[in-house]
Copies of this chain bind each other. A is one copy, B any other.
């Protein structure tokens, strides 16, 4: 049995034209059930798979969604970052469920118009960007002319691009309030407020502290987001402060894990000596010792929502930003 590569070959073999084959294989009602089945059987028998490029060129859709992270302020951050990776996994599940493929490309931050590499190249039907980093202006600018784009991150008033993310201010407030409830007075915030989301979490943290009259007890350590880079930041901090914090609010679970490790190295008990709260609610927090208390963002819901919005925008609808509720997950570290 010769291998059938194109519709033309299959059509010749069956004594019909490619048009008929095309319709038969796509279950068009214009075709008689008899020939439809005959052609489908023939296609199956010869293992014929239509060339998707040709189909896509004709139908003007690719069936692929681009996913990327802009790493503006944090060069060292790798695609293998747990948060990104978790989100990527959910997106992959969600997109494939809906018949889309996921096209992952690395962003070269040096390139001025990095977004245009994707947009308009015809390779993707839409774009999901994970994390704004410090690229909000670029995103706003592109959003003006490219509609099918959804961004994971913080939502700020006046923002032109469509975002999905948790209420970072509320989440920050919840984390700080939890530490306060647990009896902490001196609180340290680990995270670099250059990124919008982290700035918002810090903002919420400050609000809770102010309400409790503890505004002057806050220390902010602009720790890196990458685990390897965060650890020395944190170890250095713990070694140098005169008054050890009673509670640590880490702006991400990855930072929190570095904090747990550094604390263990200093012989400090968690939650006995120091209580720790992370942010993200990653699965990895279940595996730390002690298991990590965290402000959970429902990333699965986040992924679903992003895909939802994106498909609606692809369909021409003008779907707007969504803010999700953060949730406190109390485990063993607080």
Complex Cα gap A287–B250 (Å): 15
Q: Say whether A12 faces chain B, with CB atoms less than 8 Å apart.
A: no
A212 at the interface (CB under 8 A from B): no
Q: Do residues A88 and B93 form an inter-chain contact, with CB atoms below 8 A? A: no
CA distance A167 to B101 in the complex (A): 33
The residue that A120 contacts in the complex, of B49, B89, B97, B289, with Cβ under 8 A, is B49
The answer, yes or no, to whether A328 is at the interface (CB within 8 Å) is no
Please, which residue of chain B has its CB at the minimum distance from the CB of A145? B3
Chain A stretch 71-91: residues in CB contact (< 8 A) with chain B: 78-82, 85-86, 88-90
Interchain nearest-CB distance for A292 vs B (Å) = 11
Looking at the complex, which one of B88, B106, B122 makes contact with A80 (CB distance below 8 Å)?
B88
Q: Chain B nearest CB: distance from A331 CB in Å?
A: 11
Picked from B52, B261, B288, the residue with its CB within 8 Å of the CB of A291 is B261
Bound CA span A97–B97, Å? 29
Number of identical protomers = 2
A287 and B258 contacting across the interface, CB-CB below 8 Å:
yes
Q: Are A102 and B103 also in contact (CB < 8 A) when A57-B57, A85-B89, A122-B52 are?
A: yes
A104, B106: Cβ atoms under 8 Å?
Answer: no
Alpha-carbon separation in the docked complex, A85 to B51 (Å): 30
- Name the CB-closest residue of B to A258: B287
A318 interfacial by beta-carbon distance below 8 Å: no
Is the pair B78, A89 in contact by a Cβ cutoff of 8 Å? Answer: yes
Contact A123 B103 (CB under 8 A): no
A260, B284: Cα distance in complex, Å: 13
Contacting pair B93 A106 (CB below 8 A): yes
Asked if A96 is at the interface of the complex by the 8 Å CB criterion, the answer is yes
A301 within 8 A of B: no
Give A286-311 as 1s and 0s: 1 = Cβ < 8 Å from B's Cβ atoms.
11111100000000000000000000
Write out, one digit per residue, whether chain A residues 121-135 have a CB within 8 A of any chain B CB (1) or not (0): 111000000000000
Residue of A52, A86, A287 with most partner-chain B CB within 10 A: A287
Which residue, of A57, A104, A284, has the highest number of chain B Cβ atoms within 10 A? A104
Task: For A260, give its contact among B88, B89, B90, B289 (CB under 8 Å).
Answer: B289
A227 with B283: CB separation less than 8 A: yes
Cβ of A284 and Cβ of B286 under 8 Å apart?
no
Residues of B contacting A103 with CB < 8 Å? Answer: 64, 101-104
Interface assignment of A45: CB less than 8 Å from any CB of chain B: no
A210 at the binding interface (Cβ < 8 Å): no
B-side contacts of A121, CB under 8 Å:
49-52
Inter-subunit contact A286/B89 (CB<8 Å): no
CA–CA, A228 and B291, complex, Å: 13
A92–B116 CB distance below 8 A: no
Check if B64 sits within 8 Å of A93, measured CB to CB: no
What's the nearest-Cβ distance from chain B to residue A141, in Å?
13
User: In the bound complex, what is the Cα–Cα distance between A104 and B105 (angstroms)?
Assistant: 11
Q: Which chain B residues lie closer than 8 Å to A47 at the CB level?
A: 116, 120
Q: Contacting A90 at CB < 8 Å: which of B50, B80, B81, B120? A: B80
Q: Could you list 11 A-B pairs, sorted by A, with CB under 8 Å?
A: A47-B116, A51-B121, A53-B123, A54-B57, A79-B88, A80-B89, A82-B85, A85-B89, A96-B106, A101-B104, A227-B286
